Structure 1
């Protein structure tokens, strides 16, 4: 009698279908298609001639994994069940319901029976209204199999993605601001004509001395849409790891993310985060040595030189006044020659005009440093003069080099490189011999085990330094012998600024490493490429001593 009653009962039914990225992998390997359309059609065909089922809703989770139940359509269906609107759920098979063994069992064996909900998995031939010990075991076994299937698929997907990363494929779901996915290949990116120019402006403004907040204000005032708003404007799907407002605006943080991302020089970094396993949704950072980094993976938006200067601007201490949108030309580059601390800028209003000066930050706070305050105008004028003199010196070096191009300049440089390399090779051999004799000294009791470890570490460090220096020499040799480019391209940094009339933030960042102010108000400037400059001067002096310059001139 009970069975007849059940057969005559009308069940308010929810059809539930789900498709995830795991199913794409299955389809690619030739398994049965689990498309949304196929699932719905199969269930509707099953219910077509069964009047006891009253279809109340069709719930669809498209693109959601079965390893958890944090799915919007499933949660809405669950709310309907708890509200008493649904008392039957029909799925194609148990894997569509869920692939996680523990929580799937919680719903099927505990929650649904308590709420009086019938579950039908068509292809698994499961109907909980006719449950018995055999069907209970079958459900448990299938849930275990589905859980194991998720684990296998997760391993395969991770492996496939890692191969794609190493091939330089772009596997993120959306392109970063400034780029767009290529029309014919979504695993490649290309500059977005509009957004790429905005990115270039951001880098240029930073180099020119604007603060991150100042850049954000300028972008907003210019009516340029923030990255997420731009995606929304283009009709692209939105996803962000950050909390989204109704309307997203430019912020200093958004500007900083762009300025620090090497993707804009063509460097593709992937695998920076990972999920511990297929059941945990939250990702964790990976060690840097596990990242997959591909250089020149795509067309750059800014030059490497521009990117380097922007990083330099970000790294130095450039605290500005609360409402200031730019920094001063020498901000963050001044150092006290007496105590080595930063020299900061201060301003005094004497009632008639503003008076700006530099003073040691330690003297300002603790009155301990001997460096007295120096007028800003005096420092900037002195820096400008010294920079002009250095530029003139580099221009003269460039002229000398151009005049000795027809003499055995290349041969001399090659010979010098080979001499340096031979010297390093002898040094490496010597330290390796010393290392080999250390063990014998320890065995004979001449040195302790602690001394053995310490000295061996010192020798290893010397060998490592020498090997790095050898690699640098090899690179120089290949440049000299190939004739493709000059190792003195750094000179353009200065020669491009010949005739410099004023001090700007961009010129300072490009040409100056730091400015040291001494207590006698003398300035010492450490220029960019100072080692290259010193080496070139030494070489030219050697050429002059050999009479090579005179012959050329």
Structure 2
């Protein structure tokens, strides 16, 4: 404690704080403005000398776990500082309880003078009745202001999320913030190509670990290191080494992220309230999900195929970096469990077979369903080429139908039939109601009423089935109104296959079932679309404008 000519001198710490989270106005509450105001004020205080200044820039006032504030408290504990000066109470803190504890208990106990300039409060001048009422009241006002600001900010952020605006600090790997619109994502072509390679390698049969190893061997920077190379101050809890490398976890995170097909999911984590800063996970149904929020890096079809693969049992053989061609695809036709690939040595050669995994674990649970891998592969290749040819024929027929005046006439005819059936449903419902009224009024017996209801229900079911059938036929016409269908293009790119690959198998086949008699049942992808096209063609072939001769010439 210093004294000059009998006057006690206070060693003061200037404390300033600014946070947009509190709704602070940078113009009036800027760091420089706060410092300038405090220094001008202290010129008139001959008993106060400045020994340090502490700045918390970007820290909310709802809690006191701020680096500069904690440094100041250490100086108070060591005796270096015995006076704290702030612009006003809101700069000190916006937590009613915590602010009151420091001002009314901690500082008096430690012998610290507290000055809040704009609130005209100086603890050295004594505590009046007015101060005892006004200081807690002002702290409560500041607390309420912070709460209201927090609610407004949360509401604004939620609106932006629902609009599809990106509100994160850093764009995910493969994207960057758009130059002219910071709340929109733009594709980062370099990183996007890496993402495409990751999906391509997975489709070709590589494991997540294998992909990570290849990326590291190629010297491709991990997402964290790539952001740092761009000058972004990005931090993550996943880094455990001096330089973060690609890992199987990081690869899987990319493979399962719908962001790469244009879907923006935000609001996955939140804080319980404006005073608690610990982030907690929100239930998935509360996430804000916006489709087509930005440009996709990969197609939805590729994303769906790869994520279906992740659900399969795709173990990698020893000394191999890729899974077997049919891993996770071929299954037992009876028990539906996956088949396993086994090696049988004979006469110095190795022969490969598929066998039921249930039978291997328990002989009584299922039969072996044994089939040679070579004959199996040949059969699948033949069936696949035949199916692709069938799809190509469908494309040509659809193109022919597109040239006919069929669709509009047929839709009008089907729509009139639906309307007629709906009128019939309405009429039957009215008859059922009248029958019930007759039963209540005792004009008919209970047995007669039941007989009427049974007859009406049969007619009702027939009319409703007709409505469903005609509606489906209209959908078929609409869905197949052009030969340029994405599902057709997916098959078309693999026509005239000579050798099967993992990529071809997983792109075109959903599942292959093997039965005991050697029969295989292949479930190709896009079965719904295929059946819809067949129904549409069958319906169109009955039209007067459909000429089979012309169609054969076109094919």
The aligned residue for residue 282 of structure 2 is 286
Is 1:530 the counterpart of 2:532? The answer is no
What whole-Å deviation, never above 9, does each CA across 1:262-313 have from its counterpart, x for those lacking one?
Answer: 2222222222233221112123333444333222222222222222222222
Is 1:157 the counterpart of 2:156? The answer is no
Taking a change above 3 Å as real, the CA distance of residues 413 and 512 of structure 1, as seen in their structure-2 partners, is farther
CA distance in structure 1 between the partners assigned to 2:81 and 2:121 by the alignment:
19
CA distance in structure 1 between the partners assigned to 2:428 and 2:303 by the alignment:
39
CA distance in structure 2 between the partners assigned to 1:386 and 1:112 by the alignment:
85
TM-score, normalised with respect to structure 2: 0.83
The aligned residue for residue 371 of structure 2 is 374
The aligned residue for residue 89 of structure 2 is 94
Is 1:552 the counterpart of 2:547? The answer is no
Q: Report matched runs for 1:92-131 at 5 Å.
A: 92-131=87-126
Q: Which of 168, 172, 193 is 2:168 aligned to?
A: 172
Compute the displacement of 1:424 (Å): 8.7
* 3-state SS, counterpart of residue 109 of structure 2: helix
* 3-state SS, counterpart of residue 25 of structure 2: helix
CA distance in structure 2 between the partners assigned to 1:435 and 1:246 by the alignment:
78
Compute the displacement of 1:353 (Å): 5.9
CA distance in structure 1 between the partners assigned to 2:87 and 2:41 by the alignment:
10
Is 1:253 the counterpart of 2:249? The answer is yes
* 3-state SS, counterpart of residue 534 of structure 1: helix
Is 1:319 the counterpart of 2:315? The answer is yes
Would the aligned equivalents of 1:14 and 1:88 in 2 still touch at CA under 8 Å? yes
* 3-state SS, counterpart of residue 345 of structure 1: strand
Would the aligned equivalents of 1:66 and 1:99 in 2 still touch at CA under 8 Å? yes
Q: Which of 301, 319, 327 is 1:331 aligned to?
A: 327
The aligned residue for residue 68 of structure 2 is 73
CA distance in structure 2 between the partners assigned to 1:224 and 1:137 by the alignment:
63
Taking a change above 3 Å as real, the CA distance of residues 543 and 330 of structure 1, as seen in their structure-2 partners, is same
Q: Report matched runs for 1:452-463 at 5 Å.
A: none
CA distance in structure 2 between the partners assigned to 1:64 and 1:427 by the alignment:
70
Q: Report matched runs for 1:100-249 at 5 Å.
A: 100-134=95-129, 135-240=131-236, 242=238, 245-249=241-245
CA distance in structure 2 between the partners assigned to 1:133 and 1:470 by the alignment:
86
Taking a change above 3 Å as real, the CA distance of residues 17 and 407 of structure 1, as seen in their structure-2 partners, is same
Compute the displacement of 1:537 (Å): 2.8
Q: Structure 1: where are the runs of 5+ without partners?
A: 447-463
Taking a change above 3 Å as real, the CA distance of residues 386 and 116 of structure 1, as seen in their structure-2 partners, is same
Taking a change above 3 Å as real, the CA distance of residues 535 and 91 of structure 1, as seen in their structure-2 partners, is same
Compute the displacement of 1:417 (Å): 6.0
What whole-Å deviation, never above 9, does each CA across 1:418-445 have from its counterpart, x for those lacking one?
Answer: 48966995898699889999x99xx99x
Is 1:21 the counterpart of 2:20? The answer is yes
> Which has more radius of gyration?
2
Compute the displacement of 1:528 (Å): 0.7
Would the aligned equivalents of 1:214 and 1:324 in 2 still touch at CA under 8 Å? no
Would the aligned equivalents of 1:13 and 1:87 in 2 still touch at CA under 8 Å? yes
What whole-Å deviation, never above 9, does each CA across 1:178-205 have from its counterpart, x for those lacking one?
Answer: 1111222211121112111111211222
Would the aligned equivalents of 2:3 and 2:9 in 1 still touch at CA under 8 Å? no
CA distance in structure 2 between the partners assigned to 1:243 and 1:11 by the alignment:
46
The aligned residue for residue 391 of structure 2 is 394
Taking a change above 3 Å as real, the CA distance of residues 424 and 246 of structure 1, as seen in their structure-2 partners, is farther
What whole-Å deviation, never above 9, does each CA across 1:440-478 have from its counterpart, x for those lacking one?
Answer: 9xx99x9xxxxxxxxxxxxxxxxx999999997776665
* 3-state SS, counterpart of residue 514 of structure 1: strand
What whole-Å deviation, never above 9, does each CA across 1:151-178 have from its counterpart, x for those lacking one?
Answer: 1101111121122223222111221111
Compute the displacement of 1:239 (Å): 3.9
Q: Which of 251, 272, 275 is 1:276 aligned to?
A: 272
Q: Which has the larger displacement, 542-551 or 336-345? A: 542-551
Taking a change above 3 Å as real, the CA distance of residues 399 and 129 of structure 1, as seen in their structure-2 partners, is same
What whole-Å deviation, never above 9, does each CA across 1:376-428 have from its counterpart, x for those lacking one?
Answer: 33322222221111111212222333344433442476368648966995898
The aligned residue for residue 336 of structure 2 is 340
Q: Structure 2: where are the runs of 5+ without partners?
A: 447-463
- Number of equivalent positions: 527
Would the aligned equivalents of 1:421 and 1:473 in 2 still touch at CA under 8 Å? no
Compute the displacement of 1:22 (Å): 2.8
Compute the displacement of 1:488 (Å): 4.0
Would the aligned equivalents of 1:332 and 1:342 in 2 still touch at CA under 8 Å? yes
CA distance in structure 2 between the partners assigned to 1:33 and 1:169 by the alignment:
29
Compute the displacement of 1:335 (Å): 1.7
CA distance in structure 2 between the partners assigned to 1:434 and 1:371 by the alignment:
60
* 3-state SS, counterpart of residue 10 of structure 1: strand
Taking a change above 3 Å as real, the CA distance of residues 418 and 149 of structure 1, as seen in their structure-2 partners, is same
Taking a change above 3 Å as real, the CA distance of residues 216 and 491 of structure 1, as seen in their structure-2 partners, is same
The aligned residue for residue 458 of structure 1 is none
The aligned residue for residue 457 of structure 1 is none
* 3-state SS, counterpart of residue 276 of structure 1: coil
Compute the displacement of 1:129 (Å): 2.7
Compute the displacement of 1:9 (Å): 2.9
* 3-state SS, counterpart of residue 398 of structure 2: helix
Q: Which has the larger displacement, 374-383 or 168-177? A: 374-383
CA distance in structure 2 between the partners assigned to 1:199 and 1:478 by the alignment:
35
TM-score, normalised with respect to structure 1: 0.83
Would the aligned equivalents of 2:206 and 2:322 in 1 still touch at CA under 8 Å? yes
The aligned residue for residue 266 of structure 1 is 262
CA distance in structure 2 between the partners assigned to 1:183 and 1:16 by the alignment:
37
CA distance in structure 2 between the partners assigned to 1:436 and 1:99 by the alignment:
67
CA distance in structure 2 between the partners assigned to 1:423 and 1:524 by the alignment:
42
Aligned alpha-carbon RMSD (Å): 3.8
